[in-house]
């Protein structure tokens, strides 16, 4: 599916000759039903005012009053950037429909004032084929609301099965450099809105898929799309920081631990009967997303016989956002969210790493900056002596009793540095104070966890938590070249019942990695 290349070729396409008034791109067609992207040309006599209008048309559905479900603004054909207004319109509409939290740092009205400069720059610096990943993301996300919320249910089912299902990877980052550039150029606030809007559509698709499989009991599914790829993840460099980002809907993360007898494999999924209250709880929890930002501060120093590359954890921020709507929003999860507002996943383990690309023979000498934690113990010894002392003829009898108690200071999070090959690993594990077990592998206790996370349920690790920097030594002959450094993360999220009386609990995890360029060029 490449409608953007088709759009860019319209002015020179024989299909769109002067004698024709419209052209059609079939987004999906199964003989009896179809979803089309149609373009119509205005009949203005002045060539300079000639414009195009795009429409989304669905055909073959009985309950529709009109086959046209969306109309674009006019695009002036002879302007310098004739299709820039189309991209901006889709972008603003996706942002306006994005799920947001109650207490946002900025309003949607501020985000909708997106300047065309960054979008225009990305379009100019990339070919139509590469920019297609950006356009497909915006178009599919916008079509989700048109077909699922603004049209009869038969249109939504058709969209899920025949359009979104085969092209669901368009709602993920797919390691697309142009999509990464597009998100970075818009800024983190607009990026969050776009990612949450796409993840909301992705979550709905996965819920509908599970419901369909549940009705059939046990079913074989074979898909080349693995769960951990259903999300947005990329790495970038900015102002002396390596930044690794990951946005993953909860339902796309792998189950690591739960209380259910579900057998989850790559190709076989069992859906046993669950109580209605637990089913509603799982539906509510499916509208949550893990949002992770990992920042490494790095430096390059040139010595007489080697080059030293240093890195340290600057910040790790983990937030679990709710992909639901609140006042003024839509979707059936609006009312459910109020009943289950206190039920939320929380981070229980964080493992991030950084190091040169595999096979870098010129990089060696990894040095870590923290020793293995050896906790100090406070030992309190109490001795009690009791005896009878008197003037009797019989020698007094003395009884002695000794008592010793031990006190140990325990922190909720245990943070360590490790190494795997030439990569430095930073690991943080949340422990249960009562049982001493890792929370990710433990059963919940009645009172849950308190005073471990921020008010919103997230977690922030600062640079003071992980110790000093780590470093690698590079041969001086590599000066002037560009090295590839890889970063990765693995995050565990755990759900324990908070205010809901249920036996359901589980832990999910996701891992991903990406790489950045490191130029070994001396600076003044």
Claim: this prediction has a pTM higher than 0.75:
yes
Instruction: Tell which of 35, 65, 83 closes a domain.
Output: 83
Range of the domain at 440: 220-515
Q: Looking at residue 476, what DSSP letter applies?
A: G
3-state DSSP helix/strand/coil % of the chain, to nearest 5: 30, 35, 35
Q: What is the pLDDT of residue 262?
A: 44
Q: What is the pLDDT of residue 174?
A: 66
**Residue 21 maps to a domain:** yes
**Residue 497 maps to a domain:** yes
**Residue 64 maps to a domain:** yes
Q: How far apart are CA 142 and CA 63, in angstroms?
A: 21
User: How many structural domains is the chain composed of?
Assistant: 2
Q: What is the pLDDT of residue 516?
A: 94
**Residue 462 maps to a domain:** yes
SS (H, E, C) 145-191: HHHHHCCCHHHHHHHHHHHHCCCHHHHCCCCCHHHHHHHHHHCHHHH
Q: How far apart are CA 317 and CA 459, in angstroms?
A: 6
Instruction: Tell which of 28, 56, 83 closes a domain.
Output: 83
Q: What is the pLDDT of residue 259?
A: 75
Instruction: Tell which of 83, 112, 142 closes a domain.
Output: 83
The token pair that represents 296 in the structure block? 């490494």
Q: What is the pLDDT of residue 217?
A: 32
Q: What is the pLDDT of residue 62?
A: 84
**Residue 43 maps to a domain:** yes
Q: What is the pLDDT of residue 48?
A: 66
Q: What is the pLDDT of residue 25?
A: 92
Q: What is the pLDDT of residue 213?
A: 42
Q: What is the pLDDT of residue 263?
A: 41
Q: What is the pLDDT of residue 354?
A: 95
Q: What is the pLDDT of residue 347?
A: 94
Q: What is the pLDDT of residue 207?
A: 87
Q: What is the DSSP string of 350-417?
A: EEEEEEEPTT-TTEEEEE-S-PPP---EEEEEEEEEEE---S-SSPPPEEEEEEEEEEE---SEEEEE
Low-confidence ranges of the chain (pLDDT < 50): 213-228, 261-273, 327-329
**Residue 359 maps to a domain:** yes
Contacts of 29 (CB under 8 A, 6+ apart): 35, 36
**Residue 310 maps to a domain:** yes
**Residue 316 maps to a domain:** yes
């Amino acid at each position: 599916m490449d409608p953007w290349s088709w759009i860019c070729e319209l002015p020179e396409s024989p299909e769109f000759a002067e004698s024709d008034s419209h052209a059609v791109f079939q987004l999906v067609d199964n003989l009896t039903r179809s979803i089309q992207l149609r373009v119509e040309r205005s009949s203005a006599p002045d060539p300079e005012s000639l414009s195009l209008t795009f429409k989304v048309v669905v055909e073959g559905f009985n309950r529709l009053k009109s086959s046209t479900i969306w109309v674009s603004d006019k695009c002036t054909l002879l302007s310098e950037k004739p299709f820039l207004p189309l991209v901006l319109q889709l972008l603003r509409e996706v942002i306006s429909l994005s799920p947001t939290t109650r207490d946002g740092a900025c309003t949607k009205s501020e985000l909708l004032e997106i300047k065309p400069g960054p979008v225009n720059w990305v379009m100019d610096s990339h070919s139509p084929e590469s920019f297609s990943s950006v356009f497909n993301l915006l178009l599919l996300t916008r079509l989700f609301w048109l077909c699922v919320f603004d049209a009869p249910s038969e249109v939504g089912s058709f969209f899920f099965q025949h359009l979104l299902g085969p092209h669901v990877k368009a709602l993920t980052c797919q390691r697309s450099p142009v999509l990464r550039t597009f998100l970075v150029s818009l800024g983190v606030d607009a990026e969050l809105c776009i990612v949450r809007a796409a993840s909301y559509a992705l979550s709905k698709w996965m819920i509908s898929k599970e419901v369909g499989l549940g009705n059939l009991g046990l079913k074989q599914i074979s898909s080349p799309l693995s769960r951990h790829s259903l999300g947005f993840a990329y790495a970038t460099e900015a102002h002396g920081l390596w930044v690794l980002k990951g946005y993953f809907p909860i339902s796309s993360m792998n189950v690591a631990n739960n209380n259910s007898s579900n057998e989850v494999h790559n190709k076989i999924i069992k859906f046993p009967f669950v109580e209605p209250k637990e089913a509603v709880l799982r539906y509510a929890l499916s509208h949550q997303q893990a949002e992770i930002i990992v920042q490494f501060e790095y430096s390059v120093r040139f010595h007489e016989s080697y080059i030293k590359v240093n890195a340290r954890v600057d910040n790790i921020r983990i937030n679990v956002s709710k992909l639901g709507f609140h006042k003024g929003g839509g979707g059936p999860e609006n009312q459910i969210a109020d009943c289950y507002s206190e039920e939320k996943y929380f981070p229980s383990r964080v493992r991030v790493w950084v190091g040169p690309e595999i096979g870098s023979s010129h990089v060696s000498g990894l040095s870590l900056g923290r020793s293995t934690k050896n906790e100090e113990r406070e030992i309190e010894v109490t001795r009690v002596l009791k005896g009878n002392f008197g003037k009797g003829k019989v020698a007094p009898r003395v009884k002695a009793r000794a008592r010793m108690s031990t006190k140990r200071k325990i922190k909720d999070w245990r943070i360590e540095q490790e190494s795997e090959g030439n990569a430095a690993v930073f690991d943080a594990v949340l422990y249960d104070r009562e049982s001493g077990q890792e929370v990710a592998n433990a059963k919940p206790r009645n009172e849950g966890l308190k005073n471990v996370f921020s008010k919103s349920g997230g977690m922030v690790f600062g640079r003071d938590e992980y110790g000093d920097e780590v470093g690698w030594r590079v041969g001086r002959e590599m000066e002037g070249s560009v090295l590839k450094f890889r970063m990765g993360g693995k995050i565990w999220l755990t759900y324990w019942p908070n205010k809901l009386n249920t036996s359901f609990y589980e832990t999910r995890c996701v891992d991903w990695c990406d790489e950045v360029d490191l130029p070994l060029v001396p600076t003044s």
